[in-house]
Amino acid sequence: MSGLVLKDITKSFGNFTAVDTANLSVPHGKFVCLLGPSGCGKTTLLRMIAGLEDPSSGAILLDGTDITPVPTHKRNLGMVFQSLALFPHLTVGDNIAYPLRIRGASREEQKKRSDELLKLIHLPGFADRPVAKLSGGQRQRVAIARALALSPKLFLLDEPLSALDAKLREAMQVELRQLQQRLGITTFVVTHDQREAMTMADLVVVMGNGKILQAAPPIDIYRKPADAFVADFIGMTNLLDAEVDRAGRVSVLGQAIAGLTIPEGLTKASVSIRPEDVHLGSVGGDAISGTVTFVRDLGGTIETFVETGGKTIIAVATPRERPDVKAGQQVGVTLPAQSCVVLKS
Ligand code: ATP
């Protein structure tokens, strides 16, 4: 296959397995986010793709060729790390052109390429500025431009935006994604921020304890998480214990969910349902009764917290859909079967 393939990649440090039998196929031009909690092996996986770390076993293939033994500088990749590692004593232009200078490119070639890249990162005319005088977001863009100077085939970034404040970070996520789309370059970004991954990625790779738990487009990760860990990590979901009777009927919080079945062989399960899919209505009928404990009115959306059977369920709606729910009120909660995802717990 063309693109990047990880085949049974494992990395152990002594007795500890940091990455465990990772398998992944990424076609050319895709934006991949490696997502997971601290210590789950994201950076180690990225470093193996970069050739900065040798896998203990397994192979990395690029366009069908085994690149596992190929050293970093021959892999044709650009890298950006959280620290950025810009040269503070050089100008913006010289920082960007640095990789070309190392390769012996002429002064004119360096200038031409750095001017091209400065346009690409929306900083035209910044070539002669000292790096020390740039803002955080501008430095970030310069580091990105420098990594792209040699037109790499693979672009690898480790938590590139984590030092930026929330607003700038969100803007840079969009900018980075647009830049990647313009260039069509296969990109891997390590992040522990699910929102960041959802914003940028074609393919989100969720990791936990060294394993790839799910690799799928963002909307599939959101709508169809592979297991309870993924659902919980992606966040903003209601994760509820499911009970199954002998006939295979599933109930949640003591209420049977009509039409919901559990995969054969699964005895213990959870049900994940997104807050926007939870319906609130009047008490009675098939609804689960609960008490509203808190209402968070965010203007565009209203989050309603409902306590039932010792669990809190969150329901999200627009103000038009849910005009006047108040704390203390009794409500009926309905979990539509088609919105419930049954997961291994
Ligand atoms: P974070 O988000 O905190 O950066 P991560 O998911 O990127 O975490 P890694 O940096 O890949 O995680 O580390 C995975 C595990 O491997 C951690 O428990 C870490 O301590 C361990 N580890 C990483 N590098 C080494 C090393 N050189 N020697 C020993 N253990 C290591």
Examine residue 237 and state whether it is found in any structural domain, yes or no.
Answer: no
125 and 155 within one domain: yes
- 204 SS3 class: strand
Ligand 1 neighbours (beta carbon < 6 A): 13, 16, 18, 36, 38-44, 192
Supply 301's token pair: 């959306």
- Ligand 1 atom with minimal separation from the 36 CA: 6
215-224 per-position pLDDT tens digit: 999 999 988 8
Residues pairing with 343 in the sheet: 270
Number of compact structural domains in the chain: 2
Closest CA to 36 of 196, 146, 275: 196
The helix/strand count (H/E) of the chain reads as 8, 20
Q: Of all protein residues, whose CA lies closest to atom 1 belonging to ligand 1? A: 38
Would 236 be classed as within a structural domain? no
**Which domain covers residue 184, as residue numbers?**
4-230
ipTM of the complex: 0.95
* Residue 285 falls inside a structural domain: yes
Whole-number Å distance, alpha carbon 65 to ligand 1 midpoint, is 28
Compute, in angstroms, the gap from residue 328 CA to the centroid of ligand 1: 46
Specify the pTM: 0.85
Nearest CA to ligand 1 atom 2: 38
Ligand 1 centre distance from Cα of residue 168 (Å): 27
53 and 110 in contact (C-beta within 8 Å)?
no
Q: Locate the ligand 1 atom nearest the alpha carbon of residue 13 and give its number.
A: 29
* Same domain for 249 and 181: no
The CATH number for 35's domain is 3.40.50.300
pLDDT at 82 over 80: no
Q: How far is the CA of 43 from the centre of ligand 1 (A)?
A: 7
**CATH number of the CATH domain containing 257:** 2.40.50.140
Distance CA 305, CA 327 (A): 9
220 in the same domain as 97: yes
Q: Which residues pair with 270 in a beta bridge?
A: 241, 343
Residue nearest to atom 3 of ligand 1 (CA): 38
Tokens of 275: 């807050």
Residue in this structure with the two tokens 């494992």, named with its chain if needed: 10
CA of 37 relative to ligand 1 center, distance in Å:
11
The Cα–Cα gap between 41 and 58 comes to 16
Q: Is the pLDDT of residue 23 over 70?
A: yes
The 10s digit of each residue's pLDDT in 288-321 is 999 999 999 888 899 999 999 889 999 999 988 8
Half-sphere exposure of 118 toward its Cβ, with a 13 Å CA cutoff?
Answer: 20
Ligand 1, atom 30, lies closest to the CA of: 13
pLDDT(276) > 80:
yes
Distance 164 CA to ligand 1 centre (A): 22
